[in-house]
Amino acid sequence: MTVTIRDIASDAGVSVATVSRALSGNGRVGEGTRERIAEAVERLGYQPNDLARSLHGGATGTIAVLVPDITNPFFPELVAGIQAVANERENLLLLCQTGEDPATAVRELRHLRRKRVDGVVLVGGLVPDDALAGAVEGLPLVTVDRDTGLSGRWSVRADHRAGGRIATEHLVELGHERIAHVAGPEHLSVAQERLGGYRESLEASGLEADEALVVHGDFGEAGGHEALRTLLRRRREFSAVFCCNDLAAVGALHALDEAGFRVPDDVSLVGFDDIHLAGYLRPALTTVRQPIHDLGRRAATLLLEHAVPGEAERHEVLEVSLVRRDSARSVRGRR
């Protein structure tokens, strides 16, 4: 026979509404009443049993991940890494999408607190404010890839500045001197790091850093397309483009094709991330590989094994690498 909330209410000597408030975490329930309900849940075998443990303040076996945009291929691969660890540890993973909106993130975090999740992996360049800081106060939290500006937190990210250098150095080694950059959003630390690596590489190579060759867009195809169109309208000579990520490179590739430029015969193109689609483009995209799956695995491992509010900050940086494909060519090989 299935045990219902009414059975719990009858056994504990309280109303159905009181049981509902205790189980959901919404509303005020006295500590003594909460204990009686927890005991009734355990005694009658109400499912899921994790609810009973959560009433006593124990672990629920549930973690959550907040991502900016689940349609961006980078984030499903990251979530897959988190999910793999959650499965190994027999944890349930909840997925939330913030759309880079701090208010949405705060609302989701408050819901997750009421669900008594054991911790949160937070992905995205959210601008920190008092509401966000309050929403994560006392909550085990690991941030991934993009700086949140929240102090006292653990984080895992790739070496974005090194990636910017690697991409640009590759183009310099191929003989390119006029290298443009389709940069990411100016408010995101990862975009600034990649831009910084690009500039450092040009300087180290003794090449002119022409700011007219830098156009800010976003991390999507449409942003890359429009940024490259803006670059073309400036009528500044360039023979290669380093894009802030692979999706922007897809948009840039389309804009170059529309304008009659062939890749890599006329213009070489390099992306960043190495999403699974990069190798299937025509031409296949040369790019900087982030260990996306490993980022997710490491974040989940830190969250479940180590992340405790109040402990000293810990920041881990994973290495990136260049993946050479067909979209970048030596200037000496151009026809």
pLDDT in tens, 252-308: 999 999 999 999 999 999 999 999 999 999 999 999 999 999 999 999 999 988 766
* pLDDT at residue 309 is higher than 90: no
pLDDT value of residue 335: 46
pLDDT at 245 over 80: yes
DSSP 191-256: HHHHHHHHHHHHHHTT----GGGEEE--SSHHHHHHHHHHHHHTT---SEEEESSHHHHHHHHHHH
Position 47 confidence tier, pLDDT thresholds 50, 70, 90: low
pLDDT category of residue 58 using cuts at 50, 70 and 90: low
Residue 198's closest CA among 151, 240, 257? 240
Q: With a cut of 80, say whether residue 160 has pLDDT above it.
A: yes
pLDDT at 333: 54
42-56, 164-178, 297-311: lowest mean pLDDT where?
42-56
Helical H segments across the chain, by residue range: 5-12, 16-24, 31-44, 50-55, 74-88, 102-114, 130-136, 160-173, 189-204, 221-233, 246-258, 292-305
Average pLDDT, the chain: 88
The correct answer on CATH 3.40.50.2300 for the domain covering 62-157+292-317 is: yes
Res. 164: pLDDT tops 70:
yes
Average pLDDT value for residue range 237-264:
98
Going by pLDDT thresholds of 50, 70 and 90, the confidence category of residue 114 is confident
Residue 51: predicted pLDDT: 47
Domain ranges of the chain: 5-55, 62-157+292-317, 160-290+322-333
Question: Over the range 164-188, which residues count as b (16 or more CB within 10 Å of their CB) and which as e?
Answer: bbbbbbbbbebebbebbbbbbbeeb
CA–CA gap between residue 238 and residue 148 (Å, rounded): 35
Q: Does this chain's domain 62-157+292-317 share its CATH topology with 160-290+322-333?
A: yes
- The pLDDT of 134-140, averaged and rounded, is 81
Please give the CATH topology (third level) of the domain spanning 5-55. Answer: 434 Repressor (Amino-terminal Domain) (1.10.260)
- Mean pLDDT to the nearest integer, 311-332: 90
Query: Is pLDDT above 50 for 49?
Result: no
Q: Which amino acid is at 193?
A: E
Beta bridge partners of 96: 66
| Distance (Å, whole) CA 118 – CA 204 | 46
pLDDT band at 312 (very low <50, low <70, confident <90, very high): low
From the number of C-beta atoms within 10 Å of its C-beta (0-12, 13-18, 19+), residue 198 rates as: buried
Highest mean pLDDT among 39-48, 126-135, 307-316, 323-332: 323-332
Which of the 8 DSSP states describes residue 267?
-
160-290+322-333 classified as CATH 3.40.50.2300: yes
